[in-house]
């Protein structure tokens, strides 16, 4: 598992449209909330995605981008994003290679864990939370990331 201060591994993964996306490209416009989730359309993952959707304007207002990563293929991500009106990037890690590098798989690599990272523009991990069944902890983490980034913006403007 990666921790605060670690360097986030770069990656290239397809998005819901099948376009390759790199961590570097996601970070071009600022820090990112990068979250790993087990599967599209499951109750917990749907609740998490909708929570991020509902906070999306606060996230972007604070200068944060969001990307969700799970092992499904682009067609599944596209249906998931359309059904729940998700305004952020969903990435396909079908071989779980990126999730393994981020410590977001269960032992033996069987399934994804629910892990969320805040990564700065220099690929440094600022904070992380792992809560496989507790969506509220991820919501608190996202709100904390928004507050933290808002403070950074105020300090930069001073």
Residue of 45, 64, 66, 145 marked catalytic: 45
pTM for the predicted model, two decimal places: 0.95
The list of the chain residues with pLDDT below 70 reads none
Domain boundaries, the chain: 12-152
- Give the model confidence (pLDDT) of 48-62 as tens digits: 999 999 999 999 999
Closest by CA to 84, choosing from 49, 112, 57, is 49
Count of all residues that appear for the chain in the document: 158
- Give the model confidence (pLDDT) of 111-137 as tens digits: 899 999 999 999 999 999 999 989 999
Q: Which two tokens stand for residue 43?
A: 């109750």
- Domain range 12-152, CATH architecture: 3-Layer(aba) Sandwich (3.40)
Catalytic residue flag (residue 92): no
């Amino acid at each position: 598992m990666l921790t605060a201060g670690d360097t986030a591994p770069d990656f290239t993964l397809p998005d819901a449209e099948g376009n390759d996306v790199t961590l570097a490209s996601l970070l071009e416009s600022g820090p990112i909330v990068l979250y790993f989730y087990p599967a599209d359309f499951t109750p917990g993952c749907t609740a998490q995605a909708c929570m991020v959707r509902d906070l999306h304007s606060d996230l972007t207002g604070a200068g944060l981008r969001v990307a969700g990563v799970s092992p499904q293929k682009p067609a599944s991500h596209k249906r998931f994003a359309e059904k729940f009106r998700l305004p952020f990037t969903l990435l396909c890690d079908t071989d779980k290679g990126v999730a393994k590098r981020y410590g977001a798989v269960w032992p033996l690599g069987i399934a994804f864990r629910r892990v969320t990272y805040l990564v700065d523009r220099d690929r440094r991990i600022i904070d992380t939370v792992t809560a496989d069944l507790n969506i509220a902890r991820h919501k608190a983490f996202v709100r904390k990331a928004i507050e933290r980034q808002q403070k950074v913006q105020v300090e930069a403007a001073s």
